[in-house]
Chain A
Amino acid sequence: MSGLRSYLIIVLTLIVAMVVSILPFPHWYVVGRPLWLPLVGTYWCLASPRRMGIVTSWFAGFCFDAVRASPLGEHALALSVIAYVIQRYHLQIRTLHIGQQMLALTGIFLLYEFLIFWINGIISKPGPILLYGIPIFVSVGLWPPVSSGLRFIRRRYRVH
């Protein structure tokens, strides 16, 4: 497929991830809210590192910051850092078994949440640290369905 269309598909899935993360939900869900944007971003960084890299992740994070009115650059920095890590190791991670992939992603999402916690701690007050841990495990648990769903989309629309 042409490059433009591939980009369009990637951007669309990223927008869906952002919208899902800001939809209102009951409280019990919000505590364990999955990190939709890092999940989808990670998938595209692994599957199509030419299209989704550090800079695209940064822009996605920047838009997310604008939508959530969080300090500009917060999610942008966190997302671009994990995009960098994934770009360095995408060939290794891609060959892993799904369970091992989930282990690797635990580390990556831990890094992401730590960056968010850290930035929040510098800018204002970070809140209780244990609450940052729950979304990591929820997101890692969602990796198999999310990645197979996105793989379906990628094959269907031939995003390379």
Chain B
Amino acid sequence: MRFRPFRRRSERSLFHHQSYPEVRFAIVVVASLALLILHRGRPLGVPLARLTTETGLALEQPVSALAGFLESIGPSLASRGRLIRTNRDLRRQIFRLRADLAAERPLVFQNHRLQALLGRIRTIHQPFRLVRVLRIDLDPYRQEVVIDAGRRAGLESGDAAIDAQGLVGQVSRVAPHVSRVLLITDPSEMVPVEVAATGLLTFSVGTGIPTRLRLPYLPNDTRVHVGQMLITSGLGGHYAYGFPVAVITRVELRPNRSFARVDARPLGAISEDRELLVLIRRKAPGRKPASGKTGPGQ
């Protein structure tokens, strides 16, 4: 139907129920754009956005209960034999890991002594909280998980989340009982890292792909190699020093561009994690992980 403002009365009554979709369309477009502009101006500063975010997060719990129910159907149908086998494998794994841990203990002490000699102080010994992952968003534009602990559990936005292998992300929004963790692979997330072997400082940027990070600010004369480990550098004070982040998977020097192309694979098993550790920040004034650190070559 064409938009004709001056219709005859008879015509108007005939098509009354769908009169002027253009007007409604224009209204909703203007409303959406207004909301988006408000969002762009001050993310979450708008009370409306905060309200809807908290309501949205409150809905996570029933949804995750449903997901838990769907998941619980699986194991209850699994055969007894398979459960016994899994149990045995897990016991063995625990035993082996304990043995590994015992073997590593002298190394930890040695490392502490060496770190003290170098003047670096590791601050990994923070209080942490084990949380369960309720939901994973791995869209290209949104790499985020929802966890089952929030403000009541002492979480704040900015707390680091790790898993057994490495850094996973940071808490971005907090509701009373649930919160969101922005993953390091989110396109808008940057992590200050250093190459563990050389102490070279740079940033890693998320790509939107759960298995890839990019180091976009390394010049072409950088000496980095595939297989080198990246750890958090602690600069900026957001993440403490020394968490494993990723392993370099690709180095391509591009003499015709300003920077080399360097990709890395995150160590944290982001898309498979069911549990995470959230490091709760102390309010102590001594929390300066980057203190005593100097540049590359040390």
Contact = CB atoms under 8 A, between A and B. Distances in A.
A88 B21 contact: yes
B66 A72 contact: no
A24 B57 contact: no
Interface in B180-200: 180, 187-188
Interface string A65-77: 1111111111011
Interface string B38-56: 1110000000110011011
B271 interface: yes
Given A24-B64, A30-B138, A124-B187, A119 B21 contact: no
A34 B229 CA distance: 36
Nearest to B145: A24
A128 B140 contact: yes
A31 B138 CA distance: 7
Interface string B12-33: 0000011001001100110111
B114 interface: no
Contacts of A19: 63, 66
Interface in A38-94: 49-50, 53-55, 58, 65-74, 76-77, 80-81, 84, 87-88
A19 to B, nearest CB: 6
A66 B56 CA distance: 5
Contacts of B134: 24
A74 B180 contact: no
B197 to A, nearest CB: 29
A88 B271 CA distance: 41
Interface of B: 1, 17-18, 21, 24-25, 28-29, 31-36, 38-40, 48-49, 52-53, 55-57, 59, 63-64, 66-67, 70, 133-142, 173, 180, 187-188, 207-210, 271-272
Given A24-B67, A66-B55, A68-B56, A54 B140 contact: no
A114 B187 CA distance: 17
15 contacts: A22-B135, A24-B64, A24-B134, A30-B136, A55-B28, A58-B31, A65-B52, A72-B49, A77-B32, A88-B21, A122-B40, A123-B39, A127-B139, A127-B187, A132-B140
A9 B203 CA distance: 50
Nearest to B269: A27
A50 to B, nearest CB: 6
Contacts of A129: 140
Contacts of A53: 18, 21, 24
A145 interface: no
Nearest to B270: A27
State the 10 A-B residue pairs at the shortest beta-carbon distance, nearest first: A127-B208, A73-B35, A127-B140, A77-B32, A27-B271, A66-B52, A125-B187, A131-B140, A73-B32, A58-B28
B32 A76 contact: yes
A70 B142 CA distance: 9
Contacts, number: 139
Interface centre among A55, A69, A74, A117 (most CB of B within 10 A): A69
Interface centre among B53, B173, B207 (most CB of A within 10 A): B53
A88 B18 CA distance: 10
B207 A127 contact: yes
Contact of A69 (B34, B173, B208): B173
Contacts of B139: 30, 33, 127, 131
Nearest to A61: B32
A84 B208 contact: no
Given A23-B135, A77-B32, A129-B140, 15 more contacts: A19-B63, A23-B63, A26-B271, A27-B136, A30-B138, A54-B25, A58-B31, A66-B55, A69-B180, A72-B38, A73-B31, A77-B36, A87-B21, A119-B36, A127-B207
